[in-house]
Amino acid sequence: MNRNDLHHLSRIRLREAKVLLDNNCYEGAYYLSGYAIECALKACIAKQTQRYNFPDRKFVSDIYTHDLNKLMNLAGLESDYKLRKADNDFERNWAIVKDWSEQSRYVYGVTEATAKDYYSAVVNRKNGIILWIRKWW
């Protein structure tokens, strides 16, 4: 899997999330919206990979996570995040998005409001998390 694959997967998962959201399938919409963020952050990490360089073992081990906070740091976005978090709307969106987990694929009972709030935090045109990440991928 390479950076372009991760770009593509992120976009696909967001489209799928929207279809599910529009069809009242809130668990899937929530899960796939978070998965889109994970793929986007991993694309940022892939961008850092230097051709022919042998990566540090700890770094390689660390990137195989689903924790969005850890991935944001590994992607090198922490300093920009600190600058952006002065924007209350952006900070609120990150607060909504950051606690997603791959374990959410097993969760049922996600409410319409939760799924819509999550999706909105991801795609908001002014301060959505996916737009912020895409500037760096």
Q: Tens-digit pLDDT profile for the chain (137 aa)? A: 899 999 999 999 999 999 999 999 999 999 999 999 999 999 999 998 877 778 788 888 889 999 999 999 999 999 999 999 899 999 999 999 999 999 999 999 999 999 999 999 999 999 999 999 999 99
* Burial label, 110 (beta-carbon count in 10 A; 0-12, 13-18, 19+): middle
d(CA 113, CA 69): 23
Please give the residue range of the domain that contains residue 71: 3-134
Report d(CA 7, CA 29) in Å as an integer.
18
Q: Please give the tally of structural domains in the chain.
A: 1
CB 21 within 8 A of CB 130: no
Single pTM value for the model: 0.93
